[in-house]
Chains A and B, each alone.
Chain A
């Protein structure tokens, strides 16, 4: 890491030695929080895209197979007459049985257990389906027909995701505050320690911005160093989690991998932190000098 030429012996401050480690720790936490948000956000987006274009129509079992067939056709007629529907297909009974098998055990066809019929409906992309209206028209045409547009479930999921995002946002904001607060404190004590040298710089004709740059450059260098120290274990942790998740592939867990763009965002994080530290130091010096001399 580069060390800027400085007119003030800022590198001798104990806080100068302490700041990179604090920044390293904060960047580590921030990387994990941010990675969590990115993963969850991506997954939720995929789920929404995956489920958003489909609805399922469920028809209660009828007394006879004939009656069931009539209801099914009536429902299909309603669906196919709906302009937003791209495709409506009844799910074969055998698949329904297979879906229920884990709960009911192998169903003997001879038992003639009354099963509900399901229709898989794919919507036209971009179409704006009025689910309530469709549900009403279905119920009117077919007794015992119900529409499941997955909305309730999806809404709950999105609310959860949103909560997690807000939480992560609060964590990131707190991390930013801790960093800014520490830099303010370090800079103020630096100003106090070097008051004499700063006065000399002033008397020689230095502007506040000249003095501020010394502190800002220093804060930038220290933070970049700290950020790099924090980023490495952060990335290592993420790769570790990724490996563990890969072993569970095929299970109920959604895909947790970070996209390449996400890695770039994480790599930029320490730079953002360093810039925050630099600007904080600069503002602190400018404010304090204006009231000191």
Chain B
């Protein structure tokens, strides 16, 4: 990688651009760093590129240009065999949930643990505990089709956090639940964050993002910049603000 890795940088984008097929650039020269233990909301209008940005972070695709570094690994050069190990450190709540619709609630949430080869008794314990916490203990055997949109979202969130990921990416993770549950889930994310997980939550819900006072990443027309909350950010370190890197964060 050449440059010495600064300690505690979980995600680094350097001049990242992305276009789908021959379309226009959906991400335009995006550069930022996420410090270990940071918590950010990612806001912006529909079509701004929030999901696209997250997809790059959870290794669903490769950028058209630029460089992405995850946990110190350059994603362009990391071998295919190492991808699963990287991905196991990332929990994702997909915008469209992507639950496996022939699997029960329990089996869906158990997937990350089973894939990681954890013992079945351990799987049972963690999954049941988590599902009880999100209030789905009576729906362990239900298929996703038999759940409401909000319940499916809870399952998706449980699946994302069950493996205690180092990086948690939520794409509108509270879009289908009422405010009361949304706040409760935000507390779950905060709790994970407190235990050391770096969290990025994409949301349209500005009031939610405002209620929990973290610094926001804002996307518009494929460009990313940082929105300063009312209070000025601590000058250095602090709660892990994204730092502009050599390719500076573009401001509109």
A residues adjacent to B (C-beta < 8 A): 7-9, 12, 196-197, 199-207, 210, 290
In the assembled complex, B214 has its CB within 8 A of some CB on chain A = no
Neighbouring A residues of B159 by C-beta, 8 Å: 204
In the assembled complex, B173 has its CB within 8 A of some CB on chain A = no
Work out how many contacts link A and B, with CB atoms closer than 8 A: 45
CB pairs A–B below 8 angstroms (15 shown): A7-B103, A7-B107, A7-B114, A8-B100, A201-B115, A202-B83, A202-B87, A203-B60, A203-B87, A204-B115, A205-B84, A205-B87, A205-B112, A207-B81, A210-B115
Neighbouring B residues of A203 by C-beta, 8 Å: 58-60, 87, 92
Contact A290 B80 (CB under 8 A): yes
List residues 43-101 of chain B with CB under 8 A from any CB of chain A.
58-60, 80-81, 83-85, 87-88, 92, 98, 100
Contact B100 A200 (CB under 8 A): yes
In the assembled complex, B147 has its CB within 8 A of some CB on chain A = no
Neighbouring A residues of B116 by C-beta, 8 Å: 205
In the assembled complex, B111 has its CB within 8 A of some CB on chain A = yes
Instruction: Please measure, in the bound complex, the distance between the C-alpha atom of A205 and the C-alpha atom of B100, giving whole angstroms.
Output: 15
- The residue among A12, A202, A207 with the most chain B CB atoms within 10 A of its own CB is A207
In the assembled complex, B124 has its CB within 8 A of some CB on chain A = no
Neighbouring B residues of A200 by C-beta, 8 Å: 98, 100
Instruction: Please measure, in the bound complex, the distance between the C-alpha atom of A9 and the C-alpha atom of B144, giving whole angstroms.
Output: 14
- The residue among B84, B88, B103, B116 with the most chain A CB atoms within 10 A of its own CB is B84
In the assembled complex, B102 has its CB within 8 A of some CB on chain A = yes
Assess A206 versus B84: contact at CB under 8 Å? Given A7-B111, A201-B111: yes
Neighbouring B residues of A207 by C-beta, 8 Å: 81, 84
Contact B112 A204 (CB under 8 A): yes
- The 8 A-B residue pairs whose C-beta atoms are closest, nearest first, are A205-B88, A9-B102, A205-B87, A206-B115, A207-B84, A205-B84, A200-B98, A204-B112
B135-155 interface mask toward A, CB cutoff 8 Å, 1 = contact, 0 = none? Answer: 000000000000000000000
Instruction: Please measure, in the bound complex, the distance between the C-alpha atom of A290 and the C-alpha atom of B58, giving whole angstroms.
Output: 19
Neighbouring A residues of B58 by C-beta, 8 Å: 203
Instruction: Please measure, in the bound complex, the distance between the C-alpha atom of A8 and the C-alpha atom of B111, giving whole angstroms.
Output: 11
Instruction: Please measure, in the bound complex, the distance between the C-alpha atom of A207 and the C-alpha atom of B159, giving whole angstroms.
Output: 18
Given A200-B100, A202-B84: 4 more A-B contacts, CB < 8 Å: A9-B102, A201-B111, A203-B59, A204-B87
Neighbouring B residues of A201 by C-beta, 8 Å: 111, 115
- The residue among B103, B107, B163 with the most chain A CB atoms within 10 A of its own CB is B103
Instruction: Please measure, in the bound complex, the distance between the C-alpha atom of A201 and the C-alpha atom of B100, giving whole angstroms.
Output: 9
Contact B115 A12 (CB under 8 A): no
Closest-CB distance, B202 to chain A (whole angstroms): 16
Q: Which residue of A lies closest to B87 (CB)?
A: A205
Neighbouring B residues of A210 by C-beta, 8 Å: 115
Instruction: Please measure, in the bound complex, the distance between the C-alpha atom of A196 and the C-alpha atom of B111, giving whole angstroms.
Output: 15
Neighbouring B residues of A196 by C-beta, 8 Å: 98
Closest-CB distance, A207 to chain B (whole angstroms): 5
Neighbouring A residues of B107 by C-beta, 8 Å: 7
B97-132 interface mask toward A, CB cutoff 8 Å, 1 = contact, 0 = none? Answer: 010101100010001101110000000000000000
Instruction: Please measure, in the bound complex, the distance between the C-alpha atom of A9 and the C-alpha atom of B107, giving whole angstroms.
Output: 13
- The residue among A196, A202, A203, A210 with the most chain B CB atoms within 10 A of its own CB is A203
Instruction: Please measure, in the bound complex, the distance between the C-alpha atom of A12 and the C-alpha atom of B100, giving whole angstroms.
Output: 14
Q: Which of B60, B85, B100 sits near A197, CB closer than 8 Å? A: B100
Instruction: Please measure, in the bound complex, the distance between the C-alpha atom of A202 and the C-alpha atom of B116, giving whole angstroms.
Output: 12
- The residue among A9, A204, A206, A210 with the most chain B CB atoms within 10 A of its own CB is A204
Instruction: Please measure, in the bound complex, the distance between the C-alpha atom of A206 and the C-alpha atom of B159, giving whole angstroms.
Output: 14
Instruction: Please measure, in the bound complex, the distance between the C-alpha atom of A83 and the C-alpha atom of B115, giving whole angstroms.
Output: 74
Neighbouring B residues of A290 by C-beta, 8 Å: 80
Instruction: Please measure, in the bound complex, the distance between the C-alpha atom of A259 and the C-alpha atom of B112, giving whole angstroms.
Output: 52
Neighbouring B residues of A9 by C-beta, 8 Å: 102
Instruction: Please measure, in the bound complex, the distance between the C-alpha atom of A205 and the C-alpha atom of B111, giving whole angstroms.
Output: 10
Neighbouring A residues of B81 by C-beta, 8 Å: 207
Instruction: Please measure, in the bound complex, the distance between the C-alpha atom of A206 and the C-alpha atom of B110, giving whole angstroms.
Output: 13
Contact B115 A205 (CB under 8 A): yes
